[in-house]
Structure 1
Amino acid sequence: MIGDSRDVYGYITLDKFLVGRGMAEVERNLGFHAGRLSRGAAFIKLMRLPALTEFDLAAYSITAQHRYTAPTGYDLDKLKAIAASQWTLSGGNRLVKVIPVIGHDETMRDEDQYPVGAGVPQWRLVTKTGIPGIVVAETHTGADVYRPAC
């Protein structure tokens, strides 16, 4: 429900790549298979920014987790600090988590379930306790548009 508190785990992205878009476009942006958001999703904003030790780089949604390898030859802490310096708790650069009603399907191949996305930036939270968040929107059909309540 909108306004509910939730701990956030896993992949996050920036709000500006999702706001005002229908579920089919959100699927394409994030690299979910067509229809994954047909029954809706919860959108959760983070209530605090992750510390550098609480997230890993995950590149862009053109590279799904099963294809991603961390870059070598770079100062990863510096890259993480650069990314984190752009994050906010409000506006387009706020961090959000999308939780589809239709969950991960163990019977689908990763290549089918997580096709190449549109290239939005993403990060993977690695903290065991999660990051506090609040549900700012819910969609219930694939025809819905993501419009955060706050």
Structure 2
Amino acid sequence: MQYVVGQSVDIHGFVTSEKFIANCSLSEIEKRLGFHQGRLMQGAAFLVLSGTPSDKDFELRGYSNVADHRFKMPSGLDVKVLKRNVKEAWEEDQTQLIKVVPRQGHNPEISDDIQYPPGHGVPQWKLTSDYKARVVAVYSPNDYVARTPYRRNHS
């Protein structure tokens, strides 16, 4: 899909808080989120959620140092309470939830362990149903080489 700044789209999958990637280059974002080196080399789009997901719209997924294919929810946790705490923190912090969409998609020919190595431990959540988001920035391969930091385009 071709993304354009200002475009409204439905998204699902992994999101994080914008503050954990702000002012980072694409190569640094790869490391923080747990994408293999070079995954964002072709560019990426950055999409901010329109609002706060309800409890039924997301799952807890810990931190980016454990990829989804390795994640196991610890036993004995009250997920309802944890989700309530997360939502309260998002609202108190005025968190902008963001999705990074690499131009280079998932490659089924490469193992998940290679494509999704341990990241730097950025909090992450998984949207389980489509959610409205707005494209706030689109980066090209030149931005990877130039180490252009992510900054939201306010247009």
1:1-150 matched pairs, under 5 angstroms: 1-88=4-91, 93-127=95-129, 130-141=130-141, 142=144, 143-150=147-154
Q: In angstroms, what is the RMSD of aligned CA positions?
A: 1.2
**Which 4+ residue blocks in structure 1 deviate beyond 6 angstroms?**
none
Residues of 1 paired with 2:50 and 2:61: CA distance?
21
Once the two structures are TM-superposed, the CA of residue 144 in structure 1 deviates from its matched residue by: 2.8
Q: Which letter maps to 2:103?
A: V
Residues of 2 paired with 1:38 and 1:145: CA distance?
13
Give the count of matched residue pairs: 146
Residues of 1 paired with 2:62 and 2:137: CA distance?
25
Partner-residue secondary structure (3-state), 1:87: helix
Q: Which letter maps to 2:112?
A: D
Q: Which letter maps to 1:33?
A: H
**Percent of residue pairs bearing the same amino acid type:** 39
- What TM-score comes out, normalization by structure 1 length? 0.93
Residues of 1 paired with 2:148 and 2:6: CA distance?
19
Residues of 2 paired with 1:34 and 1:144: CA distance?
16
Residues of 2 paired with 1:20 and 1:10: CA distance?
23
Unaligned runs of 5+ in 1: none
Q: Which letter maps to 1:94?
A: Q
Residues of 2 paired with 1:85 and 1:41: CA distance?
30
Q: Which has the higher helix share?
A: 2
Unaligned runs of 5+ in 2: none
